[in-house]
Amino acid sequence: MEADYFDRENAKAGILWQGVSGFEFATLGKMANDFSTRRERAMAIAAMGGFTLIELLVVIAIIALLASLLMPAMGRVRREVEVSQCTSNMRQISHAFQFYLQDHNNRLMQRYYYGTGYGYDELLIPYLDAGTTVNTSTIAKKIFTCPAQKEVDYPAQPGYGMNWYYDNQMVTLLDRPAETVLLAETLGGGVGSHRADPLNGEGSIGQLDDTRHDGRANYLFFDGHISFMMYQDTLTPANLWGTDYGDHGEESPAGGGNTDNQGTQMGN
């Protein structure tokens, strides 16, 4: 009886096996081979040092830590570059002032002319970029705006203002050119940025941007040197702004100007 049972079961298995076609058999074999290949690949990746999830998280944490350490340093480098570029701008403007004074018998221009809309920057352009105006020059905006300005509205407003105490004055009369501000950093937006006003009231015409560079700013003096200093240091122990001669009323520059940016912007 037991022998008959096993014979019947073997016969059933034979029938089932005979029911598997050659194509199906080949498919089963290919699946087995594919599984074996994937397993071998996984083992190979592990052998070559593949990352686990924990290792990846550790790497990401290290990168984040390095970024947090580097960002402040990169910010300091950027600010130093801005100060350097600002100083370079002022140095070029200083040279242009010197050439202008030589051509005008040492008489300074007015920082802004209400009748024509000319500013001191328009009158200096011929010495910086010959044959151009503030609207056509490819370098005017770069020179007359500071890279650290929060607001840029050039050519309507420069980022540097002229000490308006010396509008239309003879610079040969200065007692202390090395201790008198000629040009300072102004807001560069709204109105009044052609004028550097030492009174520096918030929202006033000629307001200085005296915190543009981490609480300091560049100041160009009449002798051509540039100082990077705090605004308070221009007032004490010595007042570095000089005397307001009150000569601010000329409508247009002598001999015309070099601009196509005309208009009346009161208070500049």
Q: How far apart are CA 238 and CA 70, in angstroms?
A: 40
pLDDT per residue over 135-167, tens digit each?
899 999 999 999 998 888 898 999 999 999 999
Mean pLDDT for the stretch of residues 64-93: 84
Q: Which is nearest to 140 in space by CA: 186, 185, 99, 92?
A: 92
Q: Which residues contact 171 (CB under 8 A, 6 or more apart)?
A: 101, 106, 107, 108, 177, 222
Lookup: tokens for 229: 């200093």
pLDDT of residue 228: 95
pLDDT at 40 over 70: no
> What CA dihedral angle connects 130, 132, 133 and 138, to 10 degrees?
-100
pLDDT at 227 over 80: yes
Q: For a pLDDT cut of 70, what percent of the chain falls above it?
A: 74
* Residue 268 exposed, middle or buried by CB count within 10 Å (0-12, 13-18, 19+): buried
Lookup: tokens for 147: 């890279």
Dihedral sign, CA of 101, 107, 111, 115? negative
Q: Which of 17-31, 127-141, 142-156, 197-211 has the lowest mean pLDDT?
A: 17-31
The CA-atom distances, in angstroms, between 80 and each of 74, 182, 213, 231 are 10, 23, 9, 19
pLDDT of residue 117: 83
